[in-house]
Structure 1
Amino acid sequence: MTNQDPIAAFHQERAERIVRYGRDEDFKRLSQDWLRESMARKYVYNFDWMGRPIIQYPQDMVAMQELIWAVRPDLIIETGIAHGGSLALSASMLALLDMCDAIEAGVSFDPRVSKRKVLGIDIDIRAHNRVAMERHPMASRIHMIEGSSVAGETVERVRGLAAGHSKVMVCLDSNHTHEHVLAELDAYAPLVSVGSYCVVFDTFVEDMPPGFFEDRPWDPGNNPKTAVRAYLERHPEFEIDRGMHDKLQITVAPDGFLKRI
């Protein structure tokens, strides 16, 4: 009979299972096939978060929830806003962190007053999306900037707003070409706190058939994953959290969960 703590045993069993997934070529191939077929059918467009469309797979939403809970950031920087669902997800998680901190400290708090914020950047914030997000219950936690995420004035503005925040997480999900993502990594990855993450979305493009995105400039050889590879060659302070991909299997960000060590 073992005296191992049952919670520790559960987590150990999970960790061993995830390692096996990483070695299971049949399972990985099935997952890749499903990702490709579901992407062709625009499955990723089917979901909302707190009433706003969020163009993410449910698995990646859960992954972001886990990372935010573990890191407990006070600033999340996101490039790419679209309908604002991802901003709502991040802001709602930050609100939960504040609530839990208050409960643990035995104090009351005003959810509208918090240091924890989400900063969203997009080159084109559609008027109807801006109005919807400004009226959203999470609006007090969200700040939006319209402009190219790699323009010098935008980068300087973001860096200024990030000053004073001790735990920063970054999510890159705008233009998915190699050049653009690499420029975003150069601009924003240095803001990521040690122990936190820069999550680079849509690295899966590298694993799709050539021409899969016929109406987009990105393709195998020119996409977020190639940018990640180039960035990591000169930035050993980041490493790929491969366990996240092994666990999720279905994700748009294979090799895209970059942890600052």
Structure 2
Amino acid sequence: MATDRRDTRLFSQLFYRSRGSEPEEYAKWYFNNLIWQDTTWMGVETYKSPCDMWNYQEILTQLQPSLIIEFGTAFGGSALFWANVMRQIGRPFKVLSVDISHSLLRPEARRDPDVEFVKSSSAAPEVAERIKQLRKEYPGKVWAILDSDHSMDHVLAEMKLLRPVLTAGDYLVVEDSLLNGHPVAPEWGPGPYEAIKAYEKEFPNDYTHDTAREYKFGWSFSPYGFLVRN
């Protein structure tokens, strides 16, 4: 029997009182124990958080993009995930996955007919040109995710490369902004989080933060990194 969400929330509060630190502590536990390295989609490594992956499929279902841009292929598990979700949505689409090396790319991912794997730096001008071509072939919204080199300079270069090719309503996720003490790996040095801050200082009106999505599951590999193009 269906129950009112307010009733179940009140019931749970009678038995548990949050201290507010649980999401951060869980993020540290998940990251530091390398659980993300054992997280797979259809048997192929994704190196992501299951909470984020669930959130991403909800965003894709709502956004209904025609083109997905992934910077950082690795094993190809996440590229498979995007393609599987998009086929369920049922509209024409393409996944463009870019990585400087394909040495880790699994054959199962490489065979997917809806994914185009490109071996290149994700900050190379030819990548921007390919995105422009695909936008013409697959008109509609774009969903982009940055998950390659996590240094601040590289992520900032990726964001600037995407600036002229993303349009109003497109969605950008900057992953692994939890590095450099946000809240994990405080010794990392300036990374994705700092890249977002630097980009916003230069282009303050480009994006709106989707904070509801960011905080939906309490924690994310992408704090401050759920962005909607204005």
TM range (shorter): 0.7 to 0.9
Select 1:203's aligned residue among 177, 183, 201. 177
Select 1:32's aligned residue among 24, 41, 58. 24
Summarize the alignment of residues 1-261 of structure 1 with structure 2, pairs less than 5 Å apart: 26-27=19-20, 29-98=21-90, 115-126=92-103, 129=105, 131-135=107-111, 139-164=112-137, 165-206=139-180, 207=182, 208-211=184-187, 219-220=188-189, 222-233=190-201, 234-261=203-230
Amino acid paired to 1:254: P
The 2-side partners of 1:225 and 1:47 are apart by 23
Q: Once the 2 structures are TM-superposed, how far is the Cα of residue 40 of structure 1 from its aligned partner?
A: 1.3
Alignment check: 8 A CA contact 1:232 1:239 kept: no
The count of corresponding residues between Structure 1 and Structure 2 is 217
Amino acid paired to 1:223: G
Alignment check: 8 A CA contact 1:195 1:260 kept: yes
Which 10-residue stretch deviates more, 231-240 or 61-70? 231-240
Cα-to-partner distance string for 1:38-90 (whole Å, 9 max, x where unaligned): 21110111221122111111100011011100100010000000111110111
> For 1:156, what is the secondary structure of its paired residue?
helix
Amino acid paired to 1:41: N
Unpaired runs of at least 5, structure 1: 1-5, 18-23, 102-114, 212-218
> For 1:252, what is the secondary structure of its paired residue?
coil
Cα-to-partner distance string for 1:211-240 (whole Å, 9 max, x where unaligned): 2xxxxxxx24x1101111121231413111
Identity in percent: 29
Cα-to-partner distance string for 1:12-58 (whole Å, 9 max, x where unaligned): x6xx99xxxxxx9932x221122112211101112211221111111
The 2-side partners of 1:210 and 1:77 are apart by 29
Cα-to-partner distance string for 1:167-226 (whole Å, 9 max, x where unaligned): 111100000111000000011244334223100000001313532xxxxxxx24x11011
The 2-side partners of 1:255 and 1:73 are apart by 22
The 2-side partners of 1:190 and 1:204 are apart by 26
Alignment check: 8 A CA contact 1:189 1:198 kept: no
Amino acid paired to 1:227: A
Normalising by structure 1, report the TM-score: 0.76
Unpaired runs of at least 5, structure 2: 11-16
Alignment check: 8 A CA contact 1:170 1:189 kept: no
Going by fraction, where is helix more abundant, 1 or 2?
1
> For 1:140, what is the secondary structure of its paired residue?
coil
> For 1:255, what is the secondary structure of its paired residue?
coil
Normalising by structure 2, report the TM-score: 0.85
Which 10-residue stretch deviates more, 140-149 or 237-246? 237-246
